[in-house]
Amino acid sequence: MKIETLAIHAGNHGDPTTGAVVPPLVLSTTFERAEDGSIVEGRDIYTRASNPNRRALEEKLAALEGGSEAIAFASGQAATMSIFHTLGAGSHVILPDDIYYNTRVIIEGLYANFGLTCTAVDMTDLGAIKKAIKKNTKLIWIETPSNPSLKITDIQAVVKIAKSKNIMVGCDNTWATPFFTRPFDFGVDVVMHSTTKYFGGHSDILGGCVILPPNASSSELATKIRTFQSVGGGVPSPFDCWLLNRSLSTYAIRMPIHAQNALKLAAFLEAQPQIEKVNYPGLKSNEYHKVAKKQMLGGFGGMMSILVKGGQKESMALASKLKIFKHATSLGGVESLIEHRFSVEGIHSTSPENLLRISVGIENIDDLIADFKQALA
Ligand SMILES: *Cc1c(COP(=O)(O)O)cnc(C)c1O
């Protein structure tokens, strides 16, 4: 089945009791045993361990990413943490230098006690990745497009380097999502998502997931992450699972609009004298366009960043003149957002002071362009 159909039907097995077409929300934390006290086969026992809404969601997420099994968490951070947790004390991780800020904080902050260390490299520089590999390197983490410079990592090339050294490759696929990039097709070992973003799509559900590649169900990694979920307890509520499942029904319809709008907006902004540079991999002029074309088979996504001529003052002024684009963090929702990254990331930010990150929504593109026109006038 194709992604549009899976987004609607995967994981929905109907409800034999009521015949409901939409799966009911099961809030119960506990489930009755059989008359003789035995566990009823196929029935849940306790909601932290498993719940019908979470199971339905996980089935859909696995189907969308083309994986064998998805494991849902209460946030993207909890999902990332479950992967880092499997590495064991004293492990070393190679990360992109412009990674989602808090991913790095998990290693350098939360897991410093366990001797976890990391090296941040420019993932578009394969030589730098090779040089960063140590005896205890257990994981290479990819995030593409990168945040906030929209650098595109050649997934296949990184996997090749990692495989030659027996190192696991993880991919944060939050920005591209399987609509645009399918990391398992390029040999990645594990995929992570903040479902808060495009999967949720409406900026109203916090969530995350880990997805295992085809034929990896019940693998050692899957078992460890499942245990981290069900025993560690960083699980999403049944309502969050139900709502995310609902949002996913329109996921495959939303994504091409994000990408079409982003491409048109990027082309418009590139031609404006007040804009120094547009970072969008869909532009032919973009330095990563060739790699992007090789692996972003469904389009180039809805995220971009722009460098405004001037500094923080000029970029903040532009952001505040926009009326439809809201100045707020996060991304992937139906509404367009713009954010000055330097001021949100603080003094350790590697983001240029004149950079604005844009999450292009699914409003009418003429309105979005008109909004920039009036702000730049
Ligand atoms: C938002 C985000 C995360 C963190 O996810 P939460 O759901 O906020 O915990 C991780 N990676 C990327 C790329 C993100 O955009």
- Asked if pLDDT for residue 348 goes beyond 80, the answer is no
Q: Report the C-alpha gap between 225 and 231 in whole angstroms.
A: 10
Choose one of 100, 104, 149, 351 to mutate for the ligand 1 pocket test, by most ligand atoms within 8 angstroms of C-beta. 100
What is the average per-residue pLDDT within 145-172?
97
Looking at residue 27, its amino acid is: L
Residue 77 CA to ligand 1 center (angstroms) comes to 6
Choose one of 196, 199, 203 to mutate for the ligand 1 pocket test, by most ligand atoms within 8 angstroms of C-beta. 196
- Asked if pLDDT for residue 332 goes beyond 90, the answer is yes
Kindly tell me the burial class for residue 303, based on how many C-beta atoms sit within 10 Å of its own C-beta (0-12, 13-18, 19 or more): buried
Task: Report residues whose beta carbon is within 6 angstroms of any ligand 1 atom.
Answer: 75-77, 100, 103, 143, 147, 172, 174-175, 194, 196-197, 206, 208
- Asked if pLDDT for residue 360 goes beyond 90, the answer is yes
Q: What token pair was written down for 134?
A: 């140590």
Looking at residue 33, what is its pLDDT? Answer: 95
Give the CA distances from residue 349 to residues 97, 147, 242, in Å, rounded to whole numbers and listed in that order.
11, 11, 36
Which atom in ligand 1 lies closest to the alpha carbon of residue 196? 7
Looking at residue 193, what is its pLDDT? Answer: 98
Looking at residue 349, what is its pLDDT? Answer: 78
What's the distance, CA 110 to chain centroid? 21
Q: Residue ranges of the alpha helices (H) in 12-146?
A: 52-65, 76-85, 101-105, 126-132
Give the CA distances from residue 13 to residues 40, 52, 53, 112, in Å, rounded to whole numbers and listed in that order.
18, 10, 11, 44
Looking at residue 216, what is its pLDDT? Answer: 82
In whole numbers, what is the pLDDT of the chain averaged over residues? 96
Looking at residue 350, what is its pLDDT? Answer: 80
Choose one of 194, 247, 331, 351 to mutate for the ligand 1 pocket test, by most ligand atoms within 8 angstroms of C-beta. 194
> What percent of the chain has pLDDT above 70?
99
Band (pLDDT 50/70/90 cuts) for residue 16 is confident
Instruction: Give the closest residue (by CA) to ligand 1 atom 4.
Output: 76
57-93 per-position pLDDT tens digit: 999 999 999 999 999 999 999 999 999 999 999 999 9
CB 183 within 8 A of CB 154: no
Residue 104 CA to ligand 1 center (angstroms) comes to 12
Looking at residue 355, its amino acid is: L
Residue 38 CA to ligand 1 center (angstroms) comes to 41
pTM of the model: 0.97
Residue 126 CA to ligand 1 center (angstroms) comes to 25
Band (pLDDT 50/70/90 cuts) for residue 238 is very high
What is the average per-residue pLDDT within 109-137?
97
Looking at residue 217, what is its pLDDT? Answer: 75
209-218 per-position pLDDT tens digit: 999 999 887 7
- Asked if pLDDT for residue 326 goes beyond 90, the answer is yes
Instruction: Give the closest residue (by CA) to ligand 1 atom 5.
Output: 76
